[in-house]
A and B are shown apart, each in its own frame.
Chain A
Amino acid sequence: MADPSAARSPASGPARSGATGRLRLPVAALAALAPAWLIILVVYLGTTVWTVQLSLTNSRMLPSNEFAGLAQYQRLFGTARWSISIHNLVTFGIVYVLGALVVGSLLAIAVDRRVRFESMWRTVFLYPYALSFIVTGLMWQWLMNPEIGIQATMRAAGLGWFTFDWTTRPDMAIYAVSLAGIWQSAGLVMVLMLAGLRGIDADLWRATRIEGIPMWRTYLTIVLPQLGPSLATAFMLLTMGAVRTFDLVVALTNGGPGQSTEVPAKFIMDSLFARQDLGLATAGATVMLVTVMAIAVPILYARDIWARRRSGRL
Chain B
Amino acid sequence: MRRLLLPSLTALLLVSTAQAQDLTAEVAHSWTSGGEAAAVKVISDAFNAKGGKWVDWSVAGFENANAAYVSRLLAGDPPTAKTAVAGPEVTELVAQGLMNDIDAAFHQAVPDGVVPQVVLNAITVDGKVYMAPTGIHAGNWMFYSKPVFEKAGITAAPKTWDEFFAAMDKIKAAGITPIAWGGQSWQEGIVFHGVVLSTIGNAAYAKLYTDKDLAVIDTPEFAQAVKTFARLRDYVDAGAPGRNWNDATAMVIKDEAGVQLLSDFIKGEFTTAGEVAGTDYGCALTPGTDSLISLADAFTFPKTGNADKDKAQVLLAETVLDPTVQAQFSVLKGSVPIRTDIDTSGFDSCAQEAIGLVKQDKIVLDAAMTLSPAINGAFKDAIGAFFADPSMSVEAFIGQYKAAFANG
Contact = CB atoms under 8 A, between A and B. Distances in A.
Nearest to B396: A80
Contact of A80 (B376, B387, B400): B400
B contact residues, range: 35 or more
Nearest to A163: B238
Interface stretch (B60-68, B159-167, B269-277): B60-68
Contacts of B407: 75, 277, 280
Nearest to B390: A170
Contacts of A270: 377
Contacts of B385: 80-81, 84, 258-259
A59 to B, nearest CB: 11
A257 B183 contact: yes
A62 interface: yes
B9 interface: no
B92 A62 contact: yes
A17 interface: no
Contacts of A254: 184, 242
A129 B202 CA distance: 54
Contacts of A13: none
A146 interface: yes
A273 interface: yes
A75 B70 CA distance: 24
B89 interface: yes
Contacts of B388: 170, 256-260
A258 B372 CA distance: 22
A80 B385 CA distance: 10
B381 A80 contact: yes
A136 to B, nearest CB: 16
Contacts of B64: 273
B61 to A, nearest CB: 9
Contacts of A276: 66, 70, 89, 372-374
A253 B244 CA distance: 11
Nearest to A171: B389
B184 A256 contact: yes
B38 interface: no
B377 A61 contact: no
B384 A256 contact: yes
B390 to A, nearest CB: 9
Contacts of B406: 75, 78
Contact of B93 (A61, A84, A167): A61
A145 B387 CA distance: 19
Contacts of A280: 374, 407
Given A80-B400, A273-B66, A273-B67, A62 B96 contact: yes
A145 B374 contact: no
Contact of B239 (A84, A147, A259): A147
B205 interface: no
A160 B268 CA distance: 38
A273 B381 CA distance: 16
Nearest to B64: A273
Contacts of B408: 60
A63 B237 contact: no
Given A62-B96, A256-B242, A275 B377 contact: yes
Given A146-B239, A147-B238, A258 B373 contact: no
A258 B386 contact: yes
B74 interface: yes
A277 B92 CA distance: 12
A271 B73 CA distance: 19
A259 B397 CA distance: 13
A79 B377 CA distance: 12
The 8 closest A-B pairs by CB, nearest first: A258-B388, A147-B239, A257-B388, A257-B241, A258-B385, A275-B377, A168-B241, A277-B374
9 contacts: A62-B73, A146-B239, A170-B388, A170-B389, A256-B185, A259-B385, A259-B388, A271-B377, A275-B376
Interface of B: 63-64, 66-67, 70, 73-74, 89, 92-93, 96, 183-185, 237-242, 372-374, 376-378, 381-382, 384-389, 400, 403, 406-408
Given A80-B403, A258-B386, A280-B374, 16 more contacts: A61-B92, A75-B406, A79-B378, A84-B385, A145-B239, A147-B238, A253-B241, A256-B241, A256-B388, A257-B183, A257-B242, A258-B185, A258-B389, A259-B388, A274-B63, A274-B377
